[in-house]
Amino acid sequence: MAKVLVPGGAGYIGSHVVRALLGAGHDVVVLDNLSTGFRQAVHRDARLEVMDLADRESVAALLDRERFDAAVHFAASIVVPESVADPLKYYMNNTVNTTALIEGLVRTGVEAVIFSSTAAVYGMPAGGVASEDTPTAPINPYGRSKLMSEWVLEDTAAATALRYVALRYFNVAGAALDNTIGQRTPAATHLIKVAAQAALGRRDSLSIFGTDYDTPDGSGVRDYIHVEDLARAHVDALTHLLAGGDSKVLNCGYGHGASVREVLDTMKRVTGVDFPVVEAPRRAGDPPTLIADARRIRDELGWTPQQDDLELICRTAHAWEATL
Ligand code: UD1
Protein backbone atom coordinates (compact mmCIF):
# COMPACT_ATOMS: atom_id res chain seq x y z
CA MET A 1 0.00 0.00 0.00
CA ALA A 2 1.17 3.49 -0.78
CA LYS A 3 1.64 6.75 1.09
CA VAL A 4 -0.31 9.21 -1.04
CA LEU A 5 -0.31 13.02 -1.07
CA VAL A 6 -3.69 14.48 -2.09
CA PRO A 7 -3.55 18.23 -2.80
CA GLY A 8 -7.15 19.47 -2.92
CA GLY A 9 -8.45 16.49 -0.94
CA ALA A 10 -10.91 18.67 1.02
CA GLY A 11 -12.90 19.54 -2.12
CA TYR A 12 -15.85 17.82 -3.74
CA ILE A 13 -14.11 15.26 -5.95
CA GLY A 14 -10.97 15.09 -3.81
CA SER A 15 -12.91 14.14 -0.67
CA HIS A 16 -14.57 11.23 -2.46
CA VAL A 17 -11.22 10.06 -3.82
CA VAL A 18 -9.65 10.27 -0.35
CA ARG A 19 -12.31 7.89 0.94
CA ALA A 20 -11.79 5.52 -1.98
CA LEU A 21 -8.01 5.55 -1.43
CA LEU A 22 -8.45 4.81 2.27
CA GLY A 23 -10.87 2.03 1.36
CA ALA A 24 -8.19 0.52 -0.87
CA GLY A 25 -5.78 0.53 2.09
CA HIS A 26 -3.62 3.53 1.20
CA ASP A 27 -2.18 5.99 3.71
CA VAL A 28 -3.46 9.49 2.81
CA VAL A 29 -2.18 12.98 3.57
CA VAL A 30 -4.43 15.80 2.31
CA LEU A 31 -2.86 19.16 1.47
CA ASP A 32 -5.51 21.87 1.19
CA ASN A 33 -5.65 25.61 1.83
CA LEU A 34 -9.41 25.31 2.54
CA SER A 35 -10.13 28.21 0.16
CA THR A 36 -12.89 26.19 -1.49
CA GLY A 37 -12.46 22.93 0.43
CA PHE A 38 -13.93 22.01 3.80
CA ARG A 39 -12.18 20.53 6.83
CA GLN A 40 -15.20 18.34 7.60
CA ALA A 41 -15.05 16.79 4.11
CA VAL A 42 -11.71 15.16 4.95
CA HIS A 43 -12.17 11.63 6.25
CA ARG A 44 -10.93 11.19 9.83
CA ASP A 45 -8.50 8.45 8.75
CA ALA A 46 -6.66 10.90 6.49
CA ARG A 47 -4.31 13.57 7.83
CA LEU A 48 -5.03 17.17 6.79
CA GLU A 49 -2.15 19.62 6.28
CA VAL A 50 -3.66 23.09 5.87
CA MET A 51 -1.23 24.58 3.38
CA ASP A 52 -1.25 26.57 0.17
CA LEU A 53 0.50 25.06 -2.84
CA ALA A 54 1.85 28.55 -3.52
CA ASP A 55 3.76 28.35 -0.21
CA ARG A 56 6.75 26.69 -1.84
CA GLU A 57 8.86 26.40 1.32
CA SER A 58 6.18 24.63 3.34
CA VAL A 59 5.32 22.28 0.47
CA ALA A 60 9.00 21.45 -0.06
CA ALA A 61 9.43 20.74 3.66
CA LEU A 62 6.38 18.47 3.65
CA LEU A 63 7.65 16.53 0.62
CA ASP A 64 11.12 16.16 2.18
CA ARG A 65 9.69 15.02 5.50
CA GLU A 66 7.06 12.57 4.29
CA ARG A 67 8.63 10.86 1.27
CA PHE A 68 5.40 10.04 -0.57
CA ASP A 69 5.00 7.12 -2.96
CA ALA A 70 2.39 8.90 -5.08
CA ALA A 71 0.33 12.06 -5.49
CA VAL A 72 -3.28 12.51 -6.61
CA HIS A 73 -3.60 16.19 -7.47
CA PHE A 74 -6.93 18.06 -7.38
CA ALA A 75 -6.03 21.49 -6.01
CA ALA A 76 -7.22 23.97 -8.65
CA SER A 77 -9.65 26.73 -9.53
CA ILE A 78 -12.51 25.36 -11.64
CA VAL A 79 -15.04 28.04 -12.57
CA VAL A 80 -15.03 28.66 -16.32
CA PRO A 81 -16.48 32.23 -16.41
CA GLU A 82 -14.17 33.28 -13.58
CA SER A 83 -11.24 31.99 -15.63
CA VAL A 84 -12.25 34.30 -18.48
CA ALA A 85 -12.48 37.30 -16.14
CA ASP A 86 -9.32 36.51 -14.17
CA PRO A 87 -7.03 34.33 -16.32
CA LEU A 88 -3.91 34.95 -14.26
CA LYS A 89 -5.57 33.43 -11.21
CA TYR A 90 -6.04 30.26 -13.27
CA TYR A 91 -2.58 30.18 -14.79
CA MET A 92 -0.98 30.84 -11.39
CA ASN A 93 -3.14 28.52 -9.32
CA ASN A 94 -3.53 25.72 -11.83
CA THR A 95 -0.52 25.74 -14.12
CA VAL A 96 2.22 27.44 -12.08
CA ASN A 97 1.40 25.77 -8.75
CA THR A 98 1.01 22.39 -10.47
CA THR A 99 4.39 22.82 -12.14
CA ALA A 100 6.01 23.65 -8.81
CA LEU A 101 4.36 20.63 -7.23
CA ILE A 102 5.62 18.36 -10.00
CA GLU A 103 9.12 19.77 -9.54
CA GLY A 104 8.94 18.92 -5.82
CA LEU A 105 7.61 15.43 -6.51
CA VAL A 106 10.41 14.70 -8.99
CA ARG A 107 13.00 16.11 -6.58
CA THR A 108 11.80 13.82 -3.77
CA GLY A 109 11.58 10.70 -5.94
CA VAL A 110 7.77 10.45 -6.28
CA GLU A 111 7.19 8.52 -9.49
CA ALA A 112 3.39 8.12 -9.65
CA VAL A 113 1.05 11.08 -10.21
CA ILE A 114 -2.69 11.18 -10.95
CA PHE A 115 -3.82 14.52 -12.35
CA SER A 116 -7.36 15.96 -12.45
CA SER A 117 -7.89 17.17 -15.96
CA THR A 118 -11.09 18.11 -17.72
CA ALA A 119 -13.16 17.62 -20.85
CA ALA A 120 -12.75 21.38 -21.24
CA VAL A 121 -9.42 20.61 -22.97
CA TYR A 122 -11.46 19.52 -26.03
CA GLY A 123 -13.37 22.79 -26.41
CA MET A 124 -16.16 22.14 -28.89
CA PRO A 125 -15.30 18.83 -30.57
CA ALA A 126 -16.94 18.07 -33.92
CA GLY A 127 -19.95 15.82 -33.43
CA GLY A 128 -19.96 16.40 -29.67
CA VAL A 129 -18.07 13.19 -28.84
CA ALA A 130 -14.44 13.38 -27.72
CA SER A 131 -11.95 10.52 -27.56
CA GLU A 132 -8.49 10.96 -26.12
CA ASP A 133 -7.24 11.30 -29.70
CA THR A 134 -9.59 14.19 -30.49
CA PRO A 135 -7.43 17.29 -30.98
CA THR A 136 -7.32 19.47 -27.89
CA ALA A 137 -8.68 22.98 -28.47
CA PRO A 138 -9.72 24.55 -25.17
CA ILE A 139 -11.85 27.66 -25.49
CA ASN A 140 -11.28 29.22 -22.07
CA PRO A 141 -8.38 29.87 -19.66
CA TYR A 142 -9.62 27.11 -17.32
CA GLY A 143 -9.27 24.46 -20.03
CA ARG A 144 -5.96 25.90 -21.23
CA SER A 145 -4.52 26.02 -17.69
CA LYS A 146 -5.33 22.31 -17.28
CA LEU A 147 -4.00 21.38 -20.73
CA MET A 148 -0.75 23.19 -20.01
CA SER A 149 -0.40 21.13 -16.82
CA GLU A 150 -0.91 17.97 -18.88
CA TRP A 151 1.95 19.09 -21.13
CA VAL A 152 4.19 19.73 -18.12
CA LEU A 153 3.48 16.17 -16.99
CA GLU A 154 4.03 14.72 -20.46
CA ASP A 155 7.38 16.42 -20.95
CA THR A 156 8.52 15.67 -17.40
CA ALA A 157 7.57 12.00 -17.74
CA ALA A 158 9.62 11.82 -20.94
CA ALA A 159 12.69 13.15 -19.16
CA THR A 160 12.46 11.63 -15.65
CA ALA A 161 11.22 8.50 -13.84
CA LEU A 162 7.83 10.14 -13.23
CA ARG A 163 4.76 8.37 -14.67
CA TYR A 164 1.29 9.89 -14.63
CA VAL A 165 -2.35 9.36 -15.47
CA ALA A 166 -4.28 12.48 -16.48
CA LEU A 167 -8.01 11.90 -16.06
CA ARG A 168 -10.21 14.15 -18.20
CA TYR A 169 -13.46 14.46 -16.30
CA PHE A 170 -16.75 15.06 -18.06
CA ASN A 171 -19.68 16.29 -15.91
CA VAL A 172 -19.19 15.01 -12.38
CA ALA A 173 -22.30 14.88 -10.22
CA GLY A 174 -24.05 13.12 -7.35
CA ALA A 175 -22.88 12.42 -3.82
CA ALA A 176 -21.66 9.51 -1.69
CA LEU A 177 -24.22 6.70 -1.49
CA ASP A 178 -24.06 6.83 2.33
CA ASN A 179 -24.77 10.59 2.15
CA THR A 180 -21.73 11.59 4.24
CA ILE A 181 -20.02 13.80 1.65
CA GLY A 182 -21.04 15.68 -1.47
CA GLN A 183 -20.76 19.00 -3.28
CA ARG A 184 -20.71 21.62 -0.50
CA THR A 185 -19.86 24.77 -2.45
CA PRO A 186 -22.87 27.04 -1.81
CA ALA A 187 -22.66 29.04 -5.04
CA ALA A 188 -21.98 26.11 -7.38
CA THR A 189 -23.63 26.54 -10.77
CA HIS A 190 -23.59 22.90 -11.90
CA LEU A 191 -26.91 21.81 -13.35
CA ILE A 192 -27.59 18.82 -11.10
CA LYS A 193 -26.76 20.71 -7.92
CA VAL A 194 -28.91 23.64 -8.98
CA ALA A 195 -31.77 21.24 -9.81
CA ALA A 196 -31.47 19.63 -6.36
CA GLN A 197 -31.66 23.11 -4.79
CA ALA A 198 -34.76 23.90 -6.86
CA ALA A 199 -36.43 20.63 -5.78
CA LEU A 200 -35.77 21.61 -2.16
CA GLY A 201 -37.40 25.01 -2.72
CA ARG A 202 -34.11 26.78 -2.12
CA ARG A 203 -34.13 28.79 -5.34
CA ASP A 204 -36.93 30.65 -7.03
CA SER A 205 -36.29 29.44 -10.52
CA LEU A 206 -34.01 27.43 -12.71
CA SER A 207 -33.13 28.36 -16.27
CA ILE A 208 -32.55 26.05 -19.20
CA PHE A 209 -29.66 27.78 -20.96
CA GLY A 210 -30.56 27.30 -24.61
CA THR A 211 -33.49 25.41 -26.11
CA ASP A 212 -32.52 25.77 -29.77
CA TYR A 213 -29.42 23.59 -29.94
CA ASP A 214 -29.11 20.94 -32.60
CA THR A 215 -29.87 18.17 -30.08
CA PRO A 216 -32.87 15.82 -29.81
CA ASP A 217 -34.88 18.16 -27.53
CA GLY A 218 -33.01 21.44 -28.20
CA SER A 219 -31.25 21.62 -24.81
CA GLY A 220 -27.55 20.93 -24.12
CA VAL A 221 -26.34 17.35 -23.76
CA ARG A 222 -23.62 16.26 -21.29
CA ASP A 223 -22.09 13.02 -20.05
CA TYR A 224 -22.87 13.00 -16.30
CA ILE A 225 -20.69 10.67 -14.23
CA HIS A 226 -21.37 9.75 -10.61
CA VAL A 227 -18.62 11.03 -8.31
CA GLU A 228 -18.07 7.59 -6.71
CA ASP A 229 -17.44 5.98 -10.10
CA LEU A 230 -15.02 8.80 -10.82
CA ALA A 231 -13.31 8.22 -7.47
CA ARG A 232 -12.86 4.55 -8.33
CA ALA A 233 -11.17 5.54 -11.58
CA HIS A 234 -8.47 7.29 -9.52
CA VAL A 235 -7.86 4.20 -7.41
CA ASP A 236 -7.62 2.08 -10.57
CA ALA A 237 -5.19 4.58 -12.12
CA LEU A 238 -3.04 4.53 -8.99
CA THR A 239 -3.02 0.72 -8.93
CA HIS A 240 -1.85 0.82 -12.54
CA LEU A 241 1.01 3.23 -11.81
CA LEU A 242 2.11 1.48 -8.62
CA ALA A 243 2.36 -1.77 -10.59
CA GLY A 244 4.84 0.01 -12.89
CA GLY A 245 2.28 0.91 -15.57
CA ASP A 246 2.95 3.54 -18.21
CA SER A 247 1.66 7.12 -18.45
CA LYS A 248 -1.82 7.64 -19.86
CA VAL A 249 -4.42 10.27 -20.64
CA LEU A 250 -7.95 8.92 -20.11
CA ASN A 251 -11.47 10.25 -20.44
CA CYS A 252 -13.79 9.79 -17.46
CA GLY A 253 -17.40 9.58 -18.54
CA TYR A 254 -19.98 6.94 -19.32
CA GLY A 255 -20.03 7.39 -23.08
CA HIS A 256 -23.62 8.57 -23.31
CA GLY A 257 -25.34 11.84 -22.61
CA ALA A 258 -28.44 13.38 -21.08
CA SER A 259 -30.02 16.67 -22.08
CA VAL A 260 -30.80 19.48 -19.65
CA ARG A 261 -34.51 18.67 -20.03
CA GLU A 262 -33.87 14.99 -19.28
CA VAL A 263 -31.88 15.90 -16.17
CA LEU A 264 -34.62 18.21 -14.90
CA ASP A 265 -37.36 15.64 -15.63
CA THR A 266 -35.33 13.01 -13.79
CA MET A 267 -34.82 15.26 -10.76
CA LYS A 268 -38.55 16.03 -10.70
CA ARG A 269 -39.42 12.34 -10.94
CA VAL A 270 -37.10 11.12 -8.18
CA THR A 271 -38.01 13.92 -5.79
CA GLY A 272 -41.71 14.18 -6.66
CA VAL A 273 -41.36 17.98 -6.84
CA ASP A 274 -42.46 19.82 -9.97
CA PHE A 275 -40.23 22.88 -9.48
CA PRO A 276 -40.56 25.81 -11.90
CA VAL A 277 -38.25 25.95 -14.91
CA VAL A 278 -37.81 28.83 -17.34
CA GLU A 279 -36.37 28.77 -20.83
CA ALA A 280 -33.44 31.14 -21.25
CA PRO A 281 -30.94 32.08 -23.97
CA ARG A 282 -27.79 30.03 -24.51
CA ARG A 283 -24.95 30.53 -22.02
CA ALA A 284 -21.82 31.89 -23.69
CA GLY A 285 -19.19 29.26 -24.43
CA ASP A 286 -21.41 26.20 -23.94
CA PRO A 287 -20.96 23.42 -26.51
CA PRO A 288 -24.28 21.87 -27.65
CA THR A 289 -23.14 18.33 -26.85
CA LEU A 290 -20.15 16.96 -24.96
CA ILE A 291 -19.92 13.21 -24.52
CA ALA A 292 -16.92 11.03 -23.74
CA ASP A 293 -15.72 8.27 -25.94
CA ALA A 294 -15.11 6.29 -22.76
CA ARG A 295 -13.73 3.03 -24.09
CA ARG A 296 -10.06 3.51 -23.32
CA ILE A 297 -10.32 3.70 -19.53
CA ARG A 298 -12.31 0.46 -19.47
CA ASP A 299 -9.87 -1.29 -21.79
CA GLU A 300 -6.67 -0.04 -20.23
CA LEU A 301 -7.49 0.19 -16.51
CA GLY A 302 -10.35 -2.29 -16.29
CA TRP A 303 -12.50 0.47 -14.76
CA THR A 304 -16.11 -0.65 -14.49
CA PRO A 305 -18.83 1.89 -13.74
CA GLN A 306 -21.24 0.95 -10.97
CA GLN A 307 -23.46 4.03 -10.78
CA ASP A 308 -24.25 4.70 -14.44
CA ASP A 309 -27.80 5.74 -13.62
CA LEU A 310 -29.11 9.31 -13.91
CA GLU A 311 -31.84 8.63 -11.34
CA LEU A 312 -29.24 7.52 -8.80
CA ILE A 313 -27.10 10.58 -9.58
CA CYS A 314 -30.10 12.88 -9.02
CA ARG A 315 -31.26 11.03 -5.91
CA THR A 316 -27.85 11.18 -4.21
CA ALA A 317 -27.33 14.84 -5.19
CA HIS A 318 -30.74 15.71 -3.74
CA ALA A 319 -30.26 13.69 -0.52
CA TRP A 320 -26.91 15.41 0.03
CA GLU A 321 -28.28 18.90 -0.74
CA ALA A 322 -30.97 18.33 1.89
CA THR A 323 -28.26 17.97 4.59
CA LEU A 324 -26.79 21.43 3.91
C1 UD1 B 1 -18.16 23.20 -17.29
C2 UD1 B 1 -16.82 22.65 -17.63
C3 UD1 B 1 -16.27 21.80 -16.55
C4 UD1 B 1 -16.22 22.60 -15.31
C5 UD1 B 1 -17.63 23.09 -15.02
C6 UD1 B 1 -17.63 23.96 -13.78
C7 UD1 B 1 -16.51 22.48 -20.00
C8 UD1 B 1 -16.60 21.59 -21.19
N9 UD1 B 1 -16.89 21.91 -18.84
O10 UD1 B 1 -19.14 22.15 -17.35
O11 UD1 B 1 -14.98 21.33 -16.85
O12 UD1 B 1 -15.72 21.84 -14.25
O13 UD1 B 1 -18.12 23.86 -16.09
O14 UD1 B 1 -17.56 25.28 -14.02
O15 UD1 B 1 -16.13 23.63 -20.07
N16 UD1 B 1 -27.33 24.39 -17.46
C17 UD1 B 1 -28.61 24.95 -17.49
N18 UD1 B 1 -29.03 25.65 -16.39
C19 UD1 B 1 -28.27 25.82 -15.28
C20 UD1 B 1 -26.97 25.24 -15.25
C21 UD1 B 1 -26.53 24.55 -16.37
O22 UD1 B 1 -29.34 24.82 -18.47
O23 UD1 B 1 -28.72 26.47 -14.32
C24 UD1 B 1 -26.88 23.60 -18.60
C25 UD1 B 1 -25.63 24.12 -19.28
O26 UD1 B 1 -25.94 25.05 -20.27
C27 UD1 B 1 -25.05 22.81 -19.85
C28 UD1 B 1 -25.45 21.76 -18.80
O29 UD1 B 1 -26.55 22.32 -18.10
O30 UD1 B 1 -25.69 22.46 -21.04
C31 UD1 B 1 -24.34 21.46 -17.80
O32 UD1 B 1 -23.83 22.68 -17.28
P33 UD1 B 1 -22.85 22.73 -16.00
O34 UD1 B 1 -23.37 21.80 -14.96
O35 UD1 B 1 -22.65 24.16 -15.66
O36 UD1 B 1 -21.46 22.10 -16.51
P37 UD1 B 1 -20.62 22.42 -17.85
O38 UD1 B 1 -20.75 23.84 -18.24
O39 UD1 B 1 -20.97 21.38 -18.84
Tally of domains within the chain? 2
Residue 154: pLDDT band by 50, 70, 90 thresholds? very high
Residue 210: pLDDT band by 50, 70, 90 thresholds? very high
Q: Which of 13, 140, 190 to mutate to test the pocket of ligand 1 (most atoms within 8 A of CB)?
A: 190
Does residue 226 have a pLDDT over 90?
A: yes
pLDDT at 105: 98
Catalytic residue chosen out of the listed positions 12, 142, 164, 224: 142
pLDDT at 112: 98
CB 11 within 8 Å of CB 35 = no
Question: Among this protein's residues, is 122 annotated catalytic?
Answer: no
Task: Please check whether residues 73 and 113 belong to one and the same domain.
Answer: yes
Question: What tens digit of pLDDT does each residue of 237-268 get?
Answer: 999 999 999 999 999 999 999 999 999 999 99
Task: Please check whether residues 64 and 103 belong to one and the same domain.
Answer: yes
Task: Please check whether residues 55 and 90 belong to one and the same domain.
Answer: yes
The domain of 60 spans: 3-172+224-252
3-state SS class at 196: helix
Cβ neighbours of residue 316 under 8 Å, at least 6 residues apart? 174, 175, 176, 177, 179, 182, 226
Cβ neighbours of residue 201 under 8 Å, at least 6 residues apart? 273, 275
* DSSP code string of 76-125: ----HHHHHH-HHHHIIIIIIHHHHHHHHHHHTT--EEEEEEEGGGG-S-
Residue 283 CA: nearest ligand 1 atom is: 26
pLDDT at 310: 98
Task: Please check whether residues 19 and 32 belong to one and the same domain.
Answer: yes
Residue 143 CA: nearest ligand 1 atom is: 15
Say which CATH number the domain at 100 has.
3.40.50.720
Pocket of ligand 1 (CB under 6 A): 78-80, 118-120, 171, 189-191, 194, 206-209, 220, 222, 260, 283, 286, 290
Does residue 188 have a pLDDT over 90?
A: no
Q: How far is the CA of 286 from the centre of ligand 1 (A)?
A: 7
Residue (of 129, 142, 78, 83) closest to 287 by Cα position: 129
From 199, 232, 252, the end of a domain falls on 252
* DSSP code string of 242-309: HTTPPPEEEEES-S--EEHHHHHHHHHHHHT----EEEEPPPTT--SEEEE--HHHHHHH----S---
Task: Please check whether residues 145 and 162 belong to one and the same domain.
Answer: yes
Strand partners of residue 3:
27
Give the Cα separation of 173 and 158 in Å (integer).
34
Residue 192 burial (C-beta neighbours within 10 Å; 0-12, 13-18, 19+) = buried
Question: What tens digit of pLDDT does each residue of 80-108 get?
Answer: 889 999 999 999 999 999 999 999 999 99
Task: Please check whether residues 86 and 229 belong to one and the same domain.
Answer: yes
Task: Please check whether residues 91 and 185 belong to one and the same domain.
Answer: no
Task: Please check whether residues 231 and 268 belong to one and the same domain.
Answer: no
Task: Please check whether residues 234 and 215 belong to one and the same domain.
Answer: no
Count of CB atoms within 10 A of residue 299's CB? 10
Residue 260: φ, ψ to 5°? -60, -45
Task: Please check whether residues 139 and 288 belong to one and the same domain.
Answer: no
Task: Please check whether residues 78 and 143 belong to one and the same domain.
Answer: yes
Question: What tens digit of pLDDT does each residue of 3-24 get?
Answer: 999 999 999 999 999 999 999 9
Does residue 205 have a pLDDT over 90?
A: no
Task: Please check whether residues 14 and 108 belong to one and the same domain.
Answer: yes
* Mean of pLDDT values over 40-61: 98
* Mean of pLDDT values over 275-288: 93
* Mean of pLDDT values over 202-221: 96
Say which CATH number the domain at 212 has.
3.90.25.10
